[in-house]
């Protein structure tokens, strides 16, 4: 598969804070890649380095086959970047915002592309509206459209859906699917593990390091522990018993707890006995496919 | 016992009906999820339940007090936290707690006891002297919730409290919510993240001011989507999605990495329809699994249905 981004032994520190620690990673052309991790994991730093907005300390970074240390300007012509804070001009209209971004990127014949993008993001009927008067979801789509005006090969999205409602979010994913179809490479960061499930491959990042890198499916398969769902009542009592008495990782939901065990045959009977002895009624228990969140939490616990 | 009883609650702004005859009940100590898209009427409902906004008609009993007749009593018995934490950044953790204790008129031993309780429950012990502005988002968030419940209200309203918070902090925050619920405090929470709604005991969904679904996460998934949902692993996912979207037996599609999720509709008969379709378009299907809908699937399904 053709690679469009190559990162080798990337390092970046801010004073004594080691934000990115020896990361190596390649992104394939046309894939949707997700960088997932908690705040301070180094996601934004990594994206900013890849976009040429921040200088690295050491390591090699190639974007669209060009060395970022030497060809920053050229690379910036081939990429788009959507930051957490959409940089739109509230007192300009939708059309004017697009025009402004076209000028920044030195795109002369932007009108056709603009119409195409407005059509694509379904913003055409709002083109004369001031950006300030748009809903959150529409602002997000406009910011995306602006970052695509110069037909980049790669689009970088830094936590693009924070604070956007589910309906607009689903709309946004549809638009991204359309971009994939055009052959665009999408590199995004997100703190939401359920969003990461939508990517072709993900890297789980924690404390400046990559702790897992694969397709969401494979990452889940690699978890050597079982997630056991126990539907029971009262749930809180079950949760407190398991948390207080056993060493097991346990998570409480509305009507059930999830327990993570290494040895199902050995550990689950102990848990069941504990619950039954304390008059918690078990309605159902079964092994479930771990979610990416389960895996992530587990890996972070193991790492620390 | 019910903490909140909402009956035909309605709010009109001129000719626009923001909240339309909404009724529901929340049990004491329950974690209750309140979902809806932007503009669905969530904030207006919460404002009425907090006694800040007068209903046009209908009423709600919050902690036993009528929001229409006794809004001030309601305010004294609730806590409220929004996504914009109302903390003072240039005060320390302890000073913020002191400040909110003062607002709620707590004094002497009771105040000291509550302060200890807040520090403990929000896991802030040892952080008393830190300046609020220096705290990471997740800790600020727990402090904000801690200060919102210092008067141990019967009910606390959380309006999109976890927007933009990372997974670890989010989990810690939900631990705190669970602790409040364990102390018999009712928690009503709005969120855009459906995976979070899984933590709630009961959930309601509103759209265009009307209540359109209610129940536990399990009930929502089984009662409101009757059509099968499939996860299809195949080659050329994007083309496959476009192809499937055009079929009359398909309602909604979305891409998940190398898989497609397909919500069918009443015209769907069996899986061979999908197999045949893909075969005729030389899309290589690796597997088709019937899956349980996610809450997001349910939510989108209901909202789409509402549009038609």
The shortest C-alpha distance from A171 to chain B (Å) reads 10
Are A103 and A197 members of one domain? yes
CATH code of the domain occupying B2-216: 3.40.50.300
Contact across the interface for B258 and A194, Cβ inside 8 Å: no
Helix orientation angle between A136-146 and A166-181, rounded to the nearest 10 degrees: 20
The shortest C-alpha distance from A298 to chain B (Å) reads 11
- Which of A200, A203, A198, A272 is closest to A231 using CA atoms? A272
Q: Give the Cα separation of B241 and B237 in Å (integer).
A: 6
In chain B, what are the domain boundaries?
Answer: 2-216, 226-292
Which CATH number belongs to the domain containing residue A251 in this structure?
A: 3.30.70
CATH code of the domain occupying B226-292: 3.30.70.100
Encode pLDDT of A257-281 as tens digits. 999 999 999 999 999 999 999 999 9
Q: Which of A151, A181, A216 is the last residue of a domain?
A: A216
Contact across the interface for B178 and A236, Cβ inside 8 Å: yes
ipTM of the complex: 0.70
Q: Which of A216, A238, A273 is the last residue of a domain?
A: A216
Are A46 and A186 members of one domain? yes
Chain A residue with minimal CA distance to B174? A252
- What is the bridge-based pairing of β-strands B210-215 and B155-159? unpaired
Are A189 and A299 members of one domain? no
- For residue A288, what are its two tokens? 């479930």
pLDDT at A168: 84
Contact across the interface for B38 and A168, Cβ inside 8 Å: yes
pLDDT at B231: 92
- Please name the residues between 251 and 290 in chain B that touch chain A, using a CB distance below 8 Å: 254-259
Are A205 and A238 members of one domain? no
Helix orientation angle between B237-245 and A166-181, rounded to the nearest 10 degrees: 120
Are A33 and A146 members of one domain? yes
Residues in Cβ contact with B97 at an 8 Å cutoff, skipping those fewer than 6 apart: B115, B118, B119, B143, B146, B147, B150
Q: Give the Cα separation of B167 and A296 in Å (integer).
A: 9
Q: Give the Cα separation of A111 and A122 in Å (integer).
A: 16
Are A244 and A274 members of one domain? yes
User: What's chain A's Rg over C-alpha atoms?
Assistant: 23
pLDDT at A261: 92
pLDDT at A300: 83
Are A131 and A83 members of one domain? yes
- Please name the residues between 80 and 139 in chain A that touch chain B, using a CB distance below 8 Å: 135-137
pLDDT at B257: 85
Query: Pick from A38, A181, A251: which is nearest to B169 by CB?
Result: A38
Contact across the interface for A198 and B256, Cβ inside 8 Å: yes
- For residue B304, what are its two tokens? 């789409």
| Beta bridge partners of residue B278, listed in sequence order | none
Helix orientation angle between B137-148 and B93-103, rounded to the nearest 10 degrees: 20
Helix (H) or strand (E) holding B146: helix B137-148
Chain A residue with minimal CA distance to B196? A253
Mean pLDDT of all residues in chain A? Answer: 91
Task: Give the side-chain half-sphere CA count within 13 A for B144.
Answer: 25
Are A42 and A70 members of one domain? yes
A71 contacts chain B (CB < 8 A): no
Query: Could you tell me which residue, A24 or A298, shows the higher pLDDT?
Result: A24
Chain A residue with minimal CA distance to B139? A39
Query: Pick from B39, B193, B257: which is nearest to A197 by CB?
Result: B257
pLDDT at B149: 95
Helix orientation angle between B167-182 and A235-245, rounded to the nearest 10 degrees: 120
Which CATH number belongs to the domain containing residue A29 in this structure?
A: 3.40.50.300
A211 contacts chain B (CB < 8 A): no
Q: Which residues of chain B have pLDDT under 70?
A: 163-164, 308
The shortest C-alpha distance from A207 to chain B (Å) reads 13
Encode pLDDT of A41-59 as tens digits. 999 999 999 999 999 999 9
Query: Pick from B166, B259, B300: which is nearest to A170 by CB?
Result: B300
Domain that includes residue A82, residue range: 3-216
Q: Which of A185, A216, A247 is the last residue of a domain?
A: A216
Count of other CB atoms within 10 angstroms of residue B93: 27
How is the beta sheet containing A209-214 ordered, strand by strand? A79-82, A154-158, A185-190, A32-36, A201-206, A209-214
Encode pLDDT of B253-304 as tens digits. 888 888 898 999 889 999 899 999 988 888 899 999 998 888 888 888 888 7
Residues in Cβ contact with B180 at an 8 Å cutoff, skipping those fewer than 6 apart: B121, B145, B149, B156, B187
User: What's chain B's Rg over C-alpha atoms?
Assistant: 23
pLDDT at B308: 62
pLDDT at A64: 95
pLDDT at A199: 94
Q: Give the Cα separation of B5 and B1 in Å (integer).
A: 10
- Which of A62, A83, A85, A57 is closest to A74 using CA atoms? A62
Count of other CB atoms within 10 angstroms of residue A264: 12
pLDDT at A148: 93
Task: Give the side-chain half-sphere CA count within 13 A for B296.
Answer: 20
Chain B residue with minimal CA distance to A32? B257
Chain A residue with minimal CA distance to B175? A252
pLDDT at A98: 94
A181 contacts chain B (CB < 8 A): yes
B235 contacts chain A (CB < 8 A): no
Are A185 and A82 members of one domain? yes
The shortest C-alpha distance from A146 to chain B (Å) reads 23
Are A98 and A175 members of one domain? yes
Q: What is the mean pLDDT of residues A22-26?
A: 96
Query: Could you tell me which residue, A174 or B155, shows the higher pLDDT?
Result: B155
Are A24 and A164 members of one domain? yes
Give φ, ψ of B252 to 5 degrees: -130, 145
Are A109 and A190 members of one domain? yes
Contact across the interface for A255 and B300, Cβ inside 8 Å: no
Q: How many domains does chain A have?
A: 2
């Amino acid at each position: 598969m053709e690679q469009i981004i190559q990162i080798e032994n990337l390092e970046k520190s801010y004073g004594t804070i080691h934000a990115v620690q020896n990361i190596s990673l390649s992104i394939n052309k046309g894939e949707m890649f997700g960088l997932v991790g908690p705040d301070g994991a180094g996601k934004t730093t990594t994206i900013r380095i890849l976009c040429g907005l921040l200088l690295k300390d050491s390591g090699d970074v190639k974007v669209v086959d060009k060395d970022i240390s030497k060809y920053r300007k050229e690379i910036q012509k081939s990429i788009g970047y959507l930051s957490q804070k959409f940089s739109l001009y509230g007192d300009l209209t939708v059309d004017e915002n697009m025009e402004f971004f076209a000028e920044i990127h030195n795109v002369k014949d932007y009108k056709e592309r603009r119409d195409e993008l407005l059509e694509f993001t379904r913003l055409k009927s709002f083109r004369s509206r001031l950006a300030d008067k748009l809903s959150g979801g529409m602002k997000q789509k406009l910011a995306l459209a602006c970052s695509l005006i110069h037909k980049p090969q790669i689009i970088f999205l830094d936590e693009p859906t924070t604070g956007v409602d589910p309906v607009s979010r689903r709309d946004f994913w549809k638009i991204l699917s359309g971009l994939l179809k055009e052959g665009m490479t999408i590199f995004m960061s997100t703190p939401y593990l359920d969003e990461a499930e939508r990517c072709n491959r993900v890297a789980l990042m924690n404390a400046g390091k990559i702790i897992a890198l694969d397709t969401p499916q494979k990452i889940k398969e690699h978890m050597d522990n079982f997630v056991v769902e126990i539907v029971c009542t009262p749930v809180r009592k079950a949760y407190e018993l398991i948390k207080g008495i056993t060493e097991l990782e346990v998570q409480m939901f509305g009507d059930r707890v999830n327990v993570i065990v290494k040895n199902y045959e050995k550990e689950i009977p102990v848990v069941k006995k504990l619950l039954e002895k304390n008059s918690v009624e078990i309605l159902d228990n079964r092994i479930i496919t771990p979610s990416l969140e389960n895996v992530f939490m587990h890996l972070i616990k193991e790492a620390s | 016992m019910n903490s909140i009883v909402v009956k035909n609650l309605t709010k009109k702004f001129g000719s626009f009906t923001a909240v339309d005859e909404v009724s529901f009940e929340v049990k004491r100590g329950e974690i209750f999820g309140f979902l809806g898209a932007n503009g669905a009427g969530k904030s207006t409902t919460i404002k009425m339940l907090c006694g800040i906004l007068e209903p046009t008609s209908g009423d709600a009993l919050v902690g036993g007090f009528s929001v229409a007749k006794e809004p001030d009593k309601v305010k004294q018995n609730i806590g409220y936290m929004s996504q914009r934490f109302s903390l003072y950044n240039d005060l320390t953790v302890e000073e913020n707690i002191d400040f909110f204790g003062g607002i709620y008129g707590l004094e002497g031993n009771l105040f000291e006891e509550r302060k200890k309780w807040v520090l403990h429950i929000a896991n802030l012990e040892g952080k008393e002297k830190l300046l609020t502005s220096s705290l990471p988002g997740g800790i600020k968030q727990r402090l904000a919730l801690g200060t919102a419940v210092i008067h141990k209200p019967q009910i606390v309203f959380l309006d999109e409290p976890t927007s933009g918070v990372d997974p670890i902090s989010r989990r810690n925050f939900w631990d705190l919510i669970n602790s409040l619920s364990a102390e018999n405090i009712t928690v009503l929470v709005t969120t855009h993240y459906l995976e979070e709604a899984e933590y709630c005991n009961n959930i309601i969904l509103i759209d265009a001011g009307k209540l359109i679904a209610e129940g536990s996460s399990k009930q929502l998934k089984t009662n409101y989507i009757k059509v099968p949902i499939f996860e299809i692993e195949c080659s050329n996912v994007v083309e496959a999605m476009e192809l499937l979207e055009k079929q009359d037996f398909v309602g909604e599609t979305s891409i998940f990495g190398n898989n497609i999720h397909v919500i069918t509709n009443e015209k769907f008969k069996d899986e061979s329809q999908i197999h045949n379709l893909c075969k005729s378009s030389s899309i290589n299907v690796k597997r088709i699994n019937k899956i349980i809908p996610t809450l997001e699937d349910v939510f989108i399904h209901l909202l789409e249905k509402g549009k038609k």
